[in-house]
Every structure is written in C-alpha cells, then in structure tokens.
Structure 1
C-alpha cells in the first residue's frame, strides 16, 4: 500500500487547537458519536452500515462442510475483509493493507474468540457435517473509525442471517428450501459491539468515534468491545501514551452507555426489517 500522506502542518495545528477547546471539525462534542444507519439488503444476511461517511457492507453465507478433526462437534466461522480503492485512494486493489489486516484480526477477537456465535449449534452430524458460516466485509468509504462500522455491520448481518433447515435421516442430510421449511436464525450467545477512542497528549478527554484525520493525529487509540450485559469482551490499545486505570475505566464507562444505545438501535432495526418481510411473505 502506498504511504498515506501526512496532514499538513496548518491542518494539524488547527485540529489539535480545536480539540483543546473541546471542538471538532464536524461539530460534534468530544464524547459524541456519529449516528449509525443500517440498510438491509433484499437477501437475509446482507447489511450495510453507515457511520457518517464511513460505509461498510457485510454479507453472510453458509455451506455444509466437514468439521475440523479436533472439533468434531463444532461448526466453522470465517471472517474476511476487503478494503478496495473505492474506500480511499490510498488502498490498492488485490493487496491487503496493514489497516485491513489489523481490522480483520480485531474482528476475529471480537466476534469469533469472544464466542458470539454458538459454534456447537452449527453441528449437523457429529464428525461428518457442520455448517460453515462466512462473514465477508467490503469497505466502501473511509472517513474514520472503520473498525466500529465493520463490527456493527458484521454482527448485525449475523443476526439478520437465516440458514436453511436441515433434516438428518441416518447418515443422509436433507437441506430444505425456504419454501419447504422456514430458515433458522443463528444461535448467538451475545452481541459484542466495538467502541473506539482517540487520545491526545494535550487533551484531558478522549475523543469518541474519531474521524480519519483525528485518528492520524491521535497519540493513542483504544478499542473496546462490550455487549449489552456490560461485559468487556476485548480491549486493545495502540500507541505509546501510558494510560492510568482511571482513564481506562472512564472509557469503559462511556463505552457501556454507548453500547446500550447501539444495541437498542440494532434490535429495533432488525425487528422493523423482519416485520416488512413477514408482510411480503403473506
């Protein structure tokens, strides 16, 4: 990936001076997040998340495969991502950038390692057939905080997705079409949501949901993944500025409130979308 251009000195000084006064270039308060918008596709498991001008499209699909030998009772969950030149001119087609790798690894921790999806529920025939769930993320526009946008798109797509109903007769697996039997939701233990803060040496308050320029100028970035049960699933700090326990707990407290709001929004959006689909079916 070509080296990203550094902000101009005047631009840097203007943004940092504004942050000292509690001001941001888009008019938000330091601890104010952009309002996410979820757009559902025609097919189940297709969701686009808009966070300001940052846009990520998520797609979930399922196939039947053989399980891993060391985990015969568990299905598989794979997460892949692609940041194309459509998102920003600094990205190259067909070549994974450092940011893309970092986002994918973080999403692996947030969604996969935190046990969000019940992998045992994906088992069809122990040791022989399981569901392989694939979550693919396409980054359409980068105006900062792509991780939070991607996490929200991905976790919503998983909850929106329905897999076909299957029937096991002996060792034969019969997959029923949606017309024959209603498809089934994925069994999920919890819904983790990412919250990102940017911290600056000369600012007493962290900045929630940083823009692209703010992320470039930040001394340290803190990524938190929490769920509606107030459980901290993942915490990742990037940058060399030391943080006290009080500063970290302040971010966690803000994150808990933010996750509660976002979780409510996701639940309402999914419920509204499903009502529309039920009407269409009728």
Structure 2
C-alpha cells in the first residue's frame, strides 16, 4: 500500500507483544468482529441497480449479474482515482468467486424473454472508510443489499415487455439461492496467533491471511490463501468451523436488520399500501 502510513517500531513492538499475551489493542477477543451495523438509506456503501438488457449469446435463458468495486481516496490515502491497487484486485476477485460464481443469485429468474431480454443486475461497492476488514465488510454489504433490493415488475405480451412503476405494481425481490459470507483470518508470529476482522494496524503486521466464504448451511464457496506462512490442515479445519459459526451469526444479523427496516416503513407509505393490496 504505497501511501498508507506505516507503523513505528514502538507500535509494532507493542501490538505484537500484546498478541503474544493474548490481548488485542482494542480489547476484542481473537474471534470477535467489531460492532456490525447495517443502514438502508441515503448513505450507500453497496448499491444495487437493474436495467433491461440483452442476454449473453452463450446464456440465452439467464440474466446478467456483475459486481464492481471502487476504492477512492475518501476511504484511505493509499487509494487513487483511476489506479487499481492490489487490495482492489483481491476484493474484486474474492467477491466474484464468493458471490457470483457460487450461484448466490438465481440468474435464470432474471430472464424476461429467452435470447432477447433479461434483467442486468449490478452491485457497486464503494468504500467510505478503510480500517481493515475490507473483504468481509464488502461481502456483507453486497449480500444485504441484494436481499434489500426490489426490481420493477414486468408484463409480457408477445415480444413486447412493459416495465411497471412502483405506483402500478409492487416491485419484486431478487431470488437468492444462498447467502455466502466471507470471513478473513489473519496470522501473526509465524502462524501461532490467528484472529479475525483485523484492524488496519494489525493487517500491516500479519504474516498471512486466509479468506473462507461459507453460507449458513455449511457449504464452502471459496477458500483463498494469500501468501505468508503455511497453514496446517488442523488449523484450516478450525478456521472453517469458526467461519461457519460467524456466517450463521451474520446471516441472522442481516435478517434482523432487514426486518427492522421493513417495520420502520410507515403503514401509510406507498410500498405498504401496495403490499397490502397485493396480499388481498
């Protein structure tokens, strides 16, 4: 990271000495995430958009799903506009494999007219503040945004497609087959110390990292080992078990936030009225 301020010798010694004594400088345990929060509103971290497009020639009955990332100087001085860093490459590839290639979104449900029209769903990830945990936070944001998003409903007459507004029909949720969650493990002191959700200071000192993407059913979607120390089979198995526990907890957390957001909508709102009319 070319412009990220480094750690002083005193900071390095203090953090590593604390880890040897089973202490993190922010007081968390090694297997604890920082306080997690989700907000659905004007401040956007992951934004989902949809448009009608033509399907790919080799996937005539499927829609299109893409994930793009943007790391700007707003988040960290290490990021520059128009210059892709190693972190952005790793983030893009990890989200691509963990979410899109794992079939989290049912692209067949995005087909409107086979070979002619389909929905093109795009997830844009914008980082606002970088303090470590980039992959995990971005994955949570995309999965939550996909569950929160509603696309316009359509009607088909022959080859004519009509996209309805919210005033005409209740928008349609996306069909998600499963919810992969990324959990990143950081290794210190030659691999003797392993912790999750490392801060930026901790990331600058780690000897290696392991990213495990798993859903609440225990299905491993991706394992990525990014340099550093070798990992023993037993350590890998333990990390996978921890990742499953965290993925189940995060999945429940996302669901609770979505329910809160739904309840927060006023009973007299347009969406509530349309939903009630649709139920009748």
TM-score grouping bracket, smaller chain normalisation: over 0.9
Q: Give 1:108's match in structure 2, choosing from 96, 114, 128.
A: 96
Contact kept, 8 Å, 1:86 with 1:140, in 2: the verdict is yes
Question: What's the CA shift for 1:5?
Answer: 4.0
Q: Give 1:277's match in structure 2, choosing from 265, 272, 278.
A: 265
Question: Where in structure 2 are there 5+ consecutive unaligned residues?
Answer: 274-280
Residue 120 of structure 2 corresponds to: 132
Q: Give 1:215's match in structure 2, choosing from 203, 212, 223.
A: 203
Question: What's the CA shift for 1:263?
Answer: 0.7
Superposed counterparts of 1:49-88, under 5 Å: 57-88=45-76
Contact kept, 8 Å, 1:116 with 1:192, in 2: the verdict is yes
Whole-angstrom CA distance in 2 between matches of 1:244 and 1:111: 27
Whole-angstrom CA distance in 1 between matches of 2:229 and 2:190: 11
Q: Give 2:179's match in structure 1, choosing from 186, 191, 215.
A: 191
The two structures, once aligned, show a CA RMSD in angstroms of 1.5
Whole-angstrom CA distance in 2 between matches of 1:278 and 1:272: 12
Question: What's the CA shift for 1:158?
Answer: 0.6
Whole-angstrom CA distance in 1 between matches of 2:230 and 2:57: 43
Q: Please, what TM-score do these two structures have when normalized by structure 2? A: 0.93
The secondary structure found in structure 2 opposite 1:136 is strand
Q: Please, what TM-score do these two structures have when normalized by structure 1? A: 0.92
Residue 53 of structure 1 corresponds to: none
Contact kept, 8 Å, 1:20 with 1:203, in 2: the verdict is no
Contact kept, 8 Å, 1:201 with 1:241, in 2: the verdict is no
Residue 250 of structure 1 corresponds to: 238
In the alignment, is residue 164 of structure 1 matched against residue 152 of structure 2?
A: yes
Whole-angstrom CA distance in 1 between matches of 2:266 and 2:122: 25
Whole-angstrom CA distance in 1 between matches of 2:111 and 2:134: 32
Question: What's the CA shift for 1:200?
Answer: 1.3
Residue 18 of structure 2 corresponds to: 18
In the alignment, is residue 234 of structure 1 matched against residue 191 of structure 2?
A: no
The secondary structure found in structure 1 opposite 2:87 is helix
Whole-angstrom CA distance in 1 between matches of 2:164 and 2:266: 19
Residue 39 of structure 1 corresponds to: 39
Whole-angstrom CA distance in 1 between matches of 2:3 and 2:266: 49
Residue 278 of structure 2 corresponds to: none
Contact kept, 8 Å, 1:164 with 1:176, in 2: the verdict is yes
Question: What's the CA shift for 1:204?
Answer: 3.1
Question: What's the CA shift for 1:3?
Answer: 4.7
Number of matched pairs: 270
